[in-house]
Amino acid sequence: MAHIMFSPPYIAAEQAAQSLREHGSAVLRPEDFAAWIGASLPQLHALDQDWNDLPPDAFLKDSGRYRSRRHSCFVAEAGSLQQVPHRAHWQPVEYNALHGGMQRMFDPMHEATTQSPVWELMLQKLAELSDQVFGSAGLQRWFVESHQFRIDTTDGIGRPTPEGAHRDGVDLVAVILVNRQGVKGGETRVFEASGPSGQRFTLTEPWSIMLLDDARMIHETTPIQPAEPGGVRDTLVLTYRRGAFQGADLQDGTP
């Protein structure tokens, strides 16, 4: 049977907040996303090389070797963005049945990326969007976690979401496709947490972005297989949460 791919349900960037309020999700084209944050696509693509230097994920419970990643955290508030001291990533088992309850300390992102002007533009714009949808404009403090992922197909199959369909325990989730090369599969599936409605599509354009109201939507991405040797799928996942980082009470000296 031929593999069928469904196109993403792109909308105009200025409709993102309304779409999140009404439908719980929004998907933007790369060029629209770049313009929306006040940047250009070449500026975003200048970050691409960072994904070539991601250490292996040492915490995969399925014994897989298909995922590499880095992780850093930030606080966005009133038009300012601050990177916080490096900290572990933690989720409760209610949101991640496979890796929940673990203090996972990944290597931090490179300063060349986190200190770049386009990085601040992107994180600040998504904080503004979070204010519009979930908080009071300019008054909310957002705890931001940034995850760089590379899923490879060296062993035949790579799993972008080994935990299966899930929520992340935050307010806003942004999933950005950075690169997709030499793979098949990787279909994104998004559906209501408390209803039957959903949709499926495949992100194929680098720097296209999917935005989710995490309380309302469950999401997953199906496994990828090699279409040619060395196939990979690179993504950037940004999460925005009010109140504190998840697991903040377990780590001394954190906000």
Q: Give the pLDDT confidence of 80-98 residue by residue, as tens digits.
A: 999 999 999 876 666 555 5
For residue 253, what pLDDT is reported? 46
For residue 135, what pLDDT is reported? 77
User: What is the average pLDDT value for the chain, to the nearest integer?
Assistant: 91
Q: How far apart are CA 223 and CA 64, in angstroms?
A: 12
Q: How far apart are CA 214 and CA 219, in angstroms?
A: 9
pTM of the predicted model as reported, rounded to 2 decimal places = 0.93
Confidence bin at 251 (pLDDT 50/70/90): low
pLDDT single digits (tens) 38-72:
999 999 999 999 999 999 998 886 777 899 999 99
